Amino acid sequence: SLLHGDLWGGNQGADSAGNPVIYDPACYYGDHETDLAMMELFGRPQRRFFEAYNEVFPIDPGYAQRRELYNLYHILNHANLFGASYVSQAGRMIASLLAHIQ
């Protein structure tokens, strides 16, 4: 899938007519769930969004674990850009992922 790449609450909104808009893309190709995961990283979209999304493109079982993996990339990137406050979060995410595969 073609992904937005940085789809969080700060990069979405509405135009003057109320139509949804997204901006500030960092496009690449990947698993469609990657953008969904990013949307949940810094706040959770309304439940209705996921219900509507799931009606059109069902979310596969195991999404919660994949979400953790996809968001680890963004947390490591934030640790690189913004400092150590994200390192402990990355460690917790890695521990959680390892617990599922051991």
Catalytic (active-site) positions: 6
- Give the pair of three-digit tokens for residue 28: 């690449």
Query: Who contacts 43 (Cβ-Cβ below 8 Å, separation ≥6)?
Result: 8, 9
Alpha helices in the chain (DSSP H): 33-41, 47-56, 63-82, 87-101
